[in-house]
């Protein structure tokens, strides 16, 4: 079949200039020799991994980070040479592919390295690994000097290069710093215990990179604010520069009608008109990730706020219009219109969650289109 355009007017518009401005502002904020690792796991937090990676690299990022082998291979198919680090645990069976395609692995277990030992002599190119330290996140990583030394020693084999060591903070986005300081001290102690320092020591996520001093080390792992979103309201109030959100969600009215007093809208007939009201329908729903928990959210139309009415359906949502409007009128669910803006943080607060979940939950049924 010929390649078809998107017929449904619902789309996510990703502003690559915003992504680039977030990177170039970070570049100015960091010491000049610190690498920026663009964290593009989960399809670049729902923004589209390849386009985001290309934009970020052009703006000053020098490394990429993903979560899984599948994500790494997808990126490598489109982007040659740039280092890609897989942040999560991977099976040993992936190691030959990692070596072949220049993908760096996270390692934290001597058993894993023992299983690698018989495979490594066949690698045509060296396998690069970063050792993960669990300094308090309690997720993956070595926890003591002894464990670190054992992993480091087990990794001394031909065709394997210990290229980095890193940790991850659990509370860098909080005002309270005690736990963060403990994690930092533990990490520094473990790094100092090594006979030789690997090339890349890294610890900072967005929050640490933006609001903590002295944790830039050799690289920062920049995730959520690459996309123009603050990791937490606390960090949002203490930003060193303004962030540019990159993601807008838009659609159009596909139907408009007038309801009269007592007439109802949607499953369960939960919404009842209290007089003459203009109701619009938009073609987006919970199968796109616009969850039913957003039933009290508003959208923007002609720069005005219009509330969602009735229950959100799988593919359609009804909104109460401020006045009679025509089919085809543009509706913004996330982003700016006129003088108003609906942020992902507004959705996150409505859903009692963190802003990270919002772009990740918007499904691939919504096409991502790019403004460069």
Residues of the shown chain interacting with ligand PMH in the complex, contacts defined by CB under 6 A? 39, 87, 168, 205-207, 221-224, 231, 356
Distance between CA 96 and CA 84 in Å, rounded? 15
Q: Return the number of the residue (222 or 271) whose C-beta is nearest ligand PMH.
A: 222
Helix pair angle (49-59, 16-29), 10° resolution: 40
Give me the sign of the Cα torsion angle 59, 64, 66, 72: positive
Active site residue 41: yes
3-class SS of residue 222: strand
Q: Are 130 and 165 in contact (CB under 8 A)?
A: yes
Please report how close the Cβ of residue 178 comes to ligand PMH at its closest, in angstroms.
20
DSSP string, 126-160: PEEEEEEE-SSS-SSSB-SHHHHHHHHHHT-STTE
Q: Are 84 and 66 in contact (CB under 8 A)?
A: yes
Please report how close the Cβ of residue 166 comes to ligand PMH at its closest, in angstroms.
7
Residue 318, CB-side half-sphere exposure with 13 Å CA sphere: 20
Please report how close the Cβ of residue 28 comes to ligand PMH at its closest, in angstroms.
18
Choosing from 17, 28, 267, 324, the catalytic residue is: 267
Q: Are 250 and 332 in contact (CB under 8 A)?
A: yes
Choosing from 41, 132, 212, 320, the catalytic residue is: 41
Please report how close the Cβ of residue 247 comes to ligand PMH at its closest, in angstroms.
14
Q: Return the number of the residue (231 or 335) whose C-beta is nearest ligand PMH.
A: 231
Active site residue 267: yes
Measure the CA angle with vertex 261, ends 276 and 266; round to 5°: 95
Please report how close the Cβ of residue 5 comes to ligand PMH at its closest, in angstroms.
33
Q: Return the number of the residue (177 or 270) whose C-beta is nearest ligand PMH.
A: 177
Q: Return the number of the residue (51 or 202) whose C-beta is nearest ligand PMH.
A: 202
φ, ψ of residue 42 in degrees (nearest 5): 50, 50
Task: Quote helix, strand, coil % in the chain, to nearest 5.
Answer: 35, 25, 40
Distance between CA 265 and CA 259 in Å, rounded? 9
DSSP H stretches of helix in 216-352: 233-237, 344-350
Please report how close the Cβ of residue 63 comes to ligand PMH at its closest, in angstroms.
12
Q: Return the number of the residue (10 or 205) whose C-beta is nearest ligand PMH.
A: 205
Q: Return the number of the residue (253 or 355) whose C-beta is nearest ligand PMH.
A: 355
φ, ψ of residue 371 in degrees (nearest 5): -105, 115
Find the residue with minimal CB distance to ligand PMH. Answer: 223
Active site residues per annotation: 41, 267
């Amino acid at each position: 079949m010929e390649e078809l355009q998107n017929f449904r007017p619902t789309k996510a518009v990703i502003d690559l200039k915003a992504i680039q401005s977030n990177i170039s502002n970070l570049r100015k904020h960091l010491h000049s020799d610190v690498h920026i690792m663009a964290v593009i796991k989960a399809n670049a937090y729902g923004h589209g991994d390849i386009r985001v990676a290309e934009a970020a690299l052009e703006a000053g990022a020098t490394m990429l980070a993903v979560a899984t082998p599948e994500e790494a291979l997808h990126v490598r198919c489109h982007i040659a040479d740039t280092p890609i680090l897989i942040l999560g645990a991977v099976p040993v069976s992936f190691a030959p592919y990692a070596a072949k395609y220049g993908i760096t692995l996270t390692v934290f277990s001597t058993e894993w390295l023992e299983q690698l030992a018989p495979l490594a002599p066949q690698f045509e190119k060296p396998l690069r690994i970063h050792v993960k330290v669990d300094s308090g996140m309690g997720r993956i990583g070595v926890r003591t000097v002894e464990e670190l030394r054992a992993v480091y020693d087990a990794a001394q084999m031909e065709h394997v290069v210990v290229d980095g060591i890193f940790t991850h903070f659990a509370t860098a986005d909080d005002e309270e710093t005690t736990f963060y300081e403990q994690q930092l001290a533990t990490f520094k102690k473990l790094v100092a215990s090594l006979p030789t320092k690997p090339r890349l020591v890294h610890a900072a996520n967005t929050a640490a990179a933006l609001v903590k001093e002295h944790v830039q080390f050799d690289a920062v792992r920049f995730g959520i604010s690459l996309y123009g979103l603050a990791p937490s309201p606390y960090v949002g109030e203490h930003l060193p520069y303004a962030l540019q959100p990159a993601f807008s969600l838009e659609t159009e009215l596909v139907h408009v009608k007038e309801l009269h007093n007592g007439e109802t809208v949607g499953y369960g007939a939960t919404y009842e008109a209290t007089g003459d009201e203009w109701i619009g329908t938009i073609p987006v729903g919970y199968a796109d990730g616009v969850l039913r928990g957003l039933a009290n959210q508003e959208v923007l139309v002609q720069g005005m706020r219009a509330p969602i009415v009735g229950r959100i359906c799988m593919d359609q949502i009804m909104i109460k219009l401020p006045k009679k409007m025509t089919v085809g009128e543009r509706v913004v669910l996330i982003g700016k219109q006129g003088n108003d803006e609906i942020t992902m943080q507004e959705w996150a607060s409505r859903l009692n969650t963190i802003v990270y979940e919002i772009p990740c939950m918007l499904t691939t049924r919504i096409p991502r289109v790019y403004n460069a």
